[in-house]
Amino acid sequence: MSPFLELTKIAEITRQLPQAVQEKGYEIRILMPRFGNINERRNRLHEVIRLSGMNIIINDNDNPLIIKVASIPAARMQVYFLDNEEYFQRKHVFGDKDGKFYADNDERMIFFCKGALETVKKLGWAPDIIHCHGWLSALVPAYLKTTYKDDPTFKNSKIIYSIYENDFKEKLDADFAQKAVMSNMTEHHVEAYKEGSNSALYAGAIQYSDGIVLGSENIDADVLNNVKNSNKSVLEFDSTADFENYYNFYDEITNDELVHVA
């Protein structure tokens, strides 16, 4: 998210859209990973002790979750950063200095998706809409429709998923799907994700989402075909960056007056 880390088009949209929605009177929470190349001092990140201290279990290993927060004063918005020394304290984001894809990007993704949902629970705040952007958040829809489907925090939440251009050509670890399984789930629930490609992650997210946003002009043909066959509500790509279409889409998905947006 701009201005913290400007890696792809997502950084711009996740900066502008929340502010536009907030200015309509909706309540926003923004969550992103605290990647190691985000400067804590310059961006004035500080730990939120009451939210920190949870452990996220991946492959039978406990991974401490640290929550930090920073403000965007001009927009009166707060951003929550999910941090873990092993997964995120690196100089680069998804690949090393030579561009080699990190072997544990699957676990980093699982950590973020699980951690984001547990953080929202700990906030004691029930969102009407959870809007996920890009492949790193692709497991959130699956978790919400399985493990968390009866959780009081999320039982009335609708899930919107924004798809962008494919960001990587590699595949996640071969055991990715097995590691991703949570309670009240089997590997069958993550079958669509199993290949571990960028397109497969999108396929899984499409399967479990209530609405799909086409966030880029150049989206993979197989992904577009998945969207078409899903029979889900779709917000088409609009290069004008007029966020009025998002408000209308949120209303279409919820069919209720919005109180909170995540």
Domain ranges of the chain: 9-28+104-261
Q: List Cβ neighbours of 42 (8 Å cut-off, separation of 6 or more).
A: none
Look-up: residue for tokens 């699980």?
Answer: 114
Q: For 198-237, what is each residue's pLDDT tens digit?
A: 999 999 999 999 999 998 888 999 999 999 999 999 999 8
Architecture label for domain 9-28+104-261: 3-Layer(aba) Sandwich (3.40)
Q: List Cβ neighbours of 218 (8 Å cut-off, separation of 6 or more).
A: 165
pTM, two decimals, is: 0.91
Q: Classify residue 13 by burial, with Cβ atoms within 10 Å: 0-12, 13-18, 19+.
A: buried
Q: 137-146 burial string, b = 16+ CB within 10 Å, else e?
A: bbbbbbbbbb
Report the SS3 class of residue 194: coil
Q: pLDDT by residue for the chain (262 residues), tens digit each? A: 777 777 667 778 878 888 888 888 889 999 999 987 777 777 788 888 888 889 999 988 899 999 999 988 777 888 899 999 889 888 888 888 888 999 999 999 999 999 999 999 999 999 999 999 989 999 999 999 999 999 999 999 999 999 999 888 999 999 999 999 998 899 899 999 999 999 999 999 999 999 999 988 889 999 999 999 999 999 998 876 678 889 889 988 987 544 455 5
> How far does the chain reach from its first CA to its final CA, in angstroms?
14
Q: For 240-259, what is each residue's pLDDT tens digit?
A: 667 888 988 998 898 754 44
Which two tokens mark 86? 């092993």
Strand partners, 34: none
